[in-house]
Amino acid sequence: MIRACPPGDLDAAVWIDLLAPTPDEIEQVRTATGLRVPTEAQISEIESTSRLTFETAAYYLSTPLVAADADGNQFLMPVGFVYSSRVLVTVHFGPIHGLEAAHEEAASRPPKTAAEAVLHIFDLIVDRAADYLERAGAECDALSRAAFRTDPARAKPSAKLGSALRRIGRAADAISRLRDELLGLGRIAAYVAESNIDKAPPLDPGRLKALRADIASLTDYESHLSGKIQFLLDATLGFINIEQNDIVKTLTIASVVGIPPVLIAGIYGMNFRVMPELSWKFGYPMALVLIVVSGLAPLWWFKRRGWM
């Protein structure tokens, strides 16, 4: 699908967006702009030399951006940017939140130049990344409160630890995607600002500097959140270990408490012909008392030691 801004003639467009383009659509854009349209395999390359290149008076840039499927599950999708002084061509093979937001704004306030279009798209992507990081930070705070500020008398760790691990995993996954997105945009901004290539299409140095500063601050905040996520993960696993230790301790106490009564019952339950206790008038009550005392004595000792 081809979306042009302003709509209509591709020759007059300052931004052409290709969503899962067909060979015919690629040929139309190539004819109208004179630019090579990268393939999905080319924009999916991970090495910097493939993601950041310059040829025929145009930048060929690619980076992974956050996308979502119909169920709202987010993932990274490669996006290609072909930027010349006359036109910006974007190539992607699925909906991208930042590009969709840029199209919505362009409908009421279309960009006048390709430079304005590319900088505006980058600003929107960074703004959305900041919003995602804010939500991730709020989720981390909620997890921290649930882990460390719950009333111990009413807490039931076993009912919540599994849910906490899943929430921590989702938050870590989202932060990881945002880190990849921000690192990719940071590399693009640094390459365009510092390449000093002759005949390269210009971009406003002031806006590029502000964009790089925003990306740097968000990357620092992402690092802080990653450290907090790791701490929460370690704490949750520690709580799981504590609960498992408590269970093992309870089972150990139960087994130790049961040994003396079983021993006494076993002794007095033996069927030998000669047993002195058989003639005792109070032998049976005495055996019962011994069984009860031998069971209570370990409990008293464990209680005194602070194990219960």
pLDDT at 151: 52
Give 172-192 pLDDT, tens digit per residue: 888 888 898 999 899 998 888
Say what the pLDDT of residue 210 is. 92
Residue 80: strand pairing partners: 62, 91
- Considering only residues 255 and 162, tell me which one the structure prediction assigns the higher pLDDT: 255
Which residues does 212 contact at the CB level (< 8 Å), separation at least 6? 186, 189, 190, 193
Residues whose CB falls within 8 Å of the CB of residue 19, separated by 6 or more in sequence, listed in order: 1, 3, 92, 93, 94, 95
Q: What is the mean pLDDT of the chain?
A: 84
pLDDT band for position 159 (cuts 50, 70, 90): low
The helix/strand/coil state of 144 is helix
Is the model's pLDDT at 171 over the cut of 80?
yes
State the pLDDT at residue 158.
Answer: 56
Q: Are 75 and 92 in contact (CB under 8 A)?
A: no
Q: For residue 26, with 0-12 CB atoms within 10 Å meaning exposed, 13-18 middle and 19 or more buried, which class applies?
A: middle
Of the pLDDT bands very low, low, confident and very high (cuts 50, 70, 90), residue 51 is: confident
Burial profile 159-186: b = 16 or more Cβ within 10 angstroms, e = fewer = ebbeebeebbeebbebbebbbebbebbb
Most confident of the following: 216-225, 233-242, 272-281: 216-225
Say yes or no to pLDDT of 119 above 70. Answer: yes
**Predicted local confidence at residue 153, as pLDDT:** 46
- CA geometry: angle 101, 38, 18, nearest 5 deg: 35
Q: Which residue has the higher pLDDT, 244 or 31?
A: 31
Whether pLDDT at 145 is above 80: no
| In contact, 64 and 118? CB cutoff 8 Å | no
* Complete domains list, the chain, with CATH: 2-244 (3.30.460.20), 245-305 (1.20.58.340)
Top-confidence residue, 110 or 48: 110
Cβ proximity of 3 and 17 under 8 Å: yes
pLDDT at 305 over 80: no
pLDDT at 157 over 60: no
Three-state secondary structure call for residue 65? strand
Q: Kindly state the average pLDDT of the residues 118-131.
A: 90
Q: Is the pLDDT of residue 91 over 90?
A: yes
Please say if the pLDDT value at position 48 is more than 80. no
Task: Give 253 or 25, the one with higher predicted confidence.
Answer: 25
